[in-house]
Chains A and B, each alone.
Chain A
């Protein structure tokens, strides 16, 4: 690449701005009178501290003025920078009628426990008006270990559902109309997307449901695997990135309505980064993935229309609204000017949001209901497509049935009772919000520039740049909380002297599930054609060595009833292990 994204956009956008928003005479009059106002009305202290930088959890450090007026946005060009909802540059929303046409998808996580229990829980959420579902996998499944491996001890079915092989998928989705309900499967990593998603496809195949009827998403983000998570074993960021692209290509070729990647800013931010880094990293990842898919001989419009993002709205309310609008505009500009995309759908920044869990506190947990409501409201005012609201007991355990219902109700109250969904982009045009949207967009682009100048995201991860950035962010934020610079109600601000532990009763470890899963694995390993399994696993390992698309081979392995642990080991053997760059 000869030019960076920032250089390309700089050249193209300069030529597109030709209708200033205000006439010069009006601006002159405002400039003439504002000085008077400042002199006569604004206190000395406020003049001195005209700019303050909000100190919030996961905040960005963008300074704020006391007040914003037309002069702050005088360089804006309405059609180039804002336009109309459903039209370029999509700042004001990707659909013309936004939530009037279709409310945000209320997509709560579906809980933990055995495959049969989770099947019941999904049905319960659907009965209560959830319009999609979010399948949370247990830790061994996320980390690709079988329920009977020693590492899985104590973790089976605790924070999600165990999936060892296709039989578990069959149990989880029994009698659930997967050709009518969209399923988001929270796979996190490229490696486990390649392992787990084919099991879903084989389950559909066995039920006679064609793959072009299936709708939903997987996560499939190499930053999640190489940077955000910790674990007992890794393959190199380069191999992980390649697997991410293999999944994209495979899903695009075989499951046309499936979102093949959810670029996960959320977990990186929650791990420890600002909302700017969250978006800069996810966008860099998208840019590099598309470059790779194009290199493999595909058209950008063939791949781009199904990309999805996943963001974490936290406490700085206006910044959160601004971030969603800014990243929508920036994504449009990248697709239009850098990739020359033709299909408007390729330029849509579609996103799922989950309210910030790190911003929720252990002290006085009911306060978290209020916090999460503001996070959710910011996401909706920012035009998100789909929403999960975290629960008040987040600092204690996986949400209980009662608290997850309250989260769903939070969404429904905003949607049905506050009327905020009746008008598209209701805060658009606010001098403050538009200034902040411009500042956020510039800050994200600057950080993308930094990544590109270092040779791209995989290299940044291999060198530990991102890991170091996260560690520093965590140390710095902890320091600010301890000094009281970041104020948290009930913790370091208006803390009651007598902090009692609330009576949160969480379901205990699923009794006997581990043994049940082990027995099931034994039975499956006895009953399947093990020669076929061995053949499939050998082909899988060789595909990794030869640089073929790996996902076609994990699909064959899933068909043979190979387990996730068996596939994981074949992939590690094929690519070779890598040492994590976590900095502690």
Chain B
């Protein structure tokens, strides 16, 4: 029995748009991954849950700004709680193009906008997660 890739999906505590996250959850499930969805959460709740659930990837959906602040807080918390180092951080939603390099610097390797395809998102995860 092959181990399934586990992905945690969440939104910042006040983010009120869900279309994107519903779309992505569906894509990942159809690709045979396990999706753990926790609704709106603060960075430390996301980090704690990711460790408890032993996930391989974290996807955050943001449309209303705060991507840099929330992103940095989340990565800092992950370090503080000694999260596994090979967990990949992804972000999807609407943010200004000039924030993409900054998000990569913070530690988000996968950044997806509203037009990202299933191939791009699923492909990114399968390439970057090593399931042993």
Q: Please determine whether B64 and A231 come into contact, CB atoms closer than 8 angstroms.
A: no
Interchain CB contact under 8 A, B39 and A397: no
Determine whether B106 belongs to the interface, using a CB cutoff of 8 Å to chain A. no
Q: A522 at the A/B interface (Cβ < 8 Å)?
A: no
Per-residue A-contact encoding for B62-80, CB less than 8 Å = 1, 0 else: 0011101110010000000
A583–B19 CA distance with the chains assembled, in angstroms: 11
Binds B, one of A153-161, A178-186, A309-317: A153-161
Tell me how far the C-beta of B28 lies from the nearest C-beta in chain A, rounded to whole angstroms. 11
**A167 on the interface (CB 8 Å rule)?**
no
Residues of A within 8 A of B13 (CB): 150-151, 232
Q: How far is it, in angstroms, between the C-alpha of A241 and the C-alpha of B6 when the chains are bound?
A: 38
Q: Which residues of A contact B65 (CB under 8 A)?
A: 139, 154-155, 158-159, 398, 509
Please measure, in the bound complex, the distance between the C-alpha atom of A159 and the C-alpha atom of B19, giving whole angstroms.
18
Which A residues are in CB contact (< 8 Å) with B115?
361-363, 395, 491
A271/B16 contact (C-beta < 8 A), A154-B69, A362-B114, A584-B37 known: no
Contacts of B9 in A (CB 8 A): 584
Instruction: Report if A396 contacts B (CB, 8 A).
Output: yes
**Shortest distance between the CB of A78 and any CB in chain B (Å):** 42
> In the complex, what residues of B have CB within 8 A of residue A142's CB?
14, 16
Minimal Cβ-Cβ distance residue in B for A398: B65
Measured CA separation A158–B15 after assembly (Å) = 12
A503 to B, closest residue via Cβ: B97
Residue of B nearest to A228 (CB): B16
Q: Are B18 and A139 in contact (CB under 8 A)?
A: no
A475 interfacial contact with B, CB 8 Å: yes
Is B117 positioned at the interface, with any CB of A under 8 Å from its CB?
A: yes
Interface residues of B in 85-123 (CB under 8 A from A): 94-98, 113-115, 117-118
Q: Closest Cβ of chain B: how far from A18's Cβ, in Å?
A: 47
Interface string of A386-418 (1 = CB under 8 A from B): 000000000111100000000000000000000
Q: How far is the CA of A143 from the CA of B17 in the complex (A)?
A: 12
Is the Cβ of B40 less than 8 Å from the Cβ of A230? yes
Max chain B CB contacts within 10 Å: which of A142, A478, A501? A478
Q: State how many angstroms separate the Cβ of A245 from the closest Cβ of chain B.
A: 23
Bits for A266-298, please: 1 = Cβ < 8 Å to B, else 0. 000011100000000000000000000000000
Q: CB within 8 A of B22: which of A363, A471, A482, A509?
A: A471
From B9, B23, B68, name the one whose CB has the most chain A CB atoms within 10 angstroms: B23
B70 touches A397 (CB 8 A): no
With a CB–CB cut-off of 8 A, which chain B residues contact A153? 66, 69-70, 73
Chain A residue with the shortest CB-CB distance to B62: A154
Closest to A141 in B: B14
Flag if A396 contacts B40 (CB, 8 Å).
Answer: no
| A155 pairs with B12, CB closer than 8 A | yes
Contact with B along A342-372 (1 / 0, CB 8 A): 0000000000000000100111000000000
Which residue of A230, A362, A398, A501 has the most chain B CB atoms within 10 A of its CB atom?
A: A230
Tell me if A99 counts as interface (CB < 8 A to partner B). Answer: no
Contact across chains for A272 and B66 when beta carbons are under 8 A apart? no
- The answer to whether B98 and A505 touch across the interface, beta carbons within 8 angstroms, is yes
Task: List B contacts of A229 (CB < 8 A).
Answer: 16
- How far is the CB of A480 from the nearest CB of chain B, in Å? 12
Judged by a CB distance under 8 angstroms, whether B51 is at the interface is no
Q: How many whole Å from A159's CB to the nearest CB in chain B?
A: 5
Q: Which residues of A contact B35 (CB under 8 A)?
A: 584
B49 adjacent to chain A (CB < 8 Å): no
Cross-chain contact B66 with A232 (CB below 8 angstroms): no
B14 with A143: CB separation less than 8 A:
yes
Residues of B within 8 A of A509 (CB): 65-66, 68-69
Please state if B66 and A154 are interface contacts (CB–CB under 8 Å). Answer: yes
| Docked pose: A232 CA to B11 CA in angstroms | 10
Contact of B39 among A145, A230, A272 (CB under 8 A): A230
Q: Which among A475, A502, A503 is the interface contact of B26 at CB below 8 angstroms?
A: A475
- Of the candidates B37, B39, B68, the one having the most CB atoms from chain A within 10 angstroms of its own CB is B39
Which of A139, A358, A580 is the most central at the interface, judged by chain B CB atoms within 10 Å of its CB? A139
Partner of A139, one of B16, B19, B97, B113: B16
Q: Are B39 and A478 in contact (CB under 8 A)?
A: no
Kindly state whether residue A474 has any CB partner on chain B within 8 Å.
Answer: yes
Asked if A152 CB lies within 8 Å of chain B CBs, one says yes
> A140 an interface residue at 8 Å Cβ cutoff?
yes
* B25 beta carbon closer than 8 Å to chain A: yes
Most central of B9, B13, B68, B73 by chain A CB within 10 Å? B13
**Any chain B CB within 8 A of the CB of A1?**
no
Q: Give min CB distance, A199 to chain B, whole Å.
A: 19
* Extra inter-chain contacts (16) besides given A153-B69, A158-B66, CB under 8 Å: A155-B66, A158-B64, A159-B65, A230-B11, A232-B13, A232-B39, A271-B17, A271-B19, A272-B22, A395-B114, A396-B94, A397-B95, A398-B65, A475-B23, A491-B115, A503-B97
21 A-B pairs whose Cβ atoms sit less than 8 Å apart in the complex: A142-B16, A151-B14, A152-B14, A153-B69, A154-B65, A154-B69, A155-B66, A158-B64, A158-B65, A231-B40, A232-B40, A361-B114, A362-B115, A396-B95, A396-B96, A396-B97, A504-B97, A508-B96, A582-B39, A584-B22, A584-B37
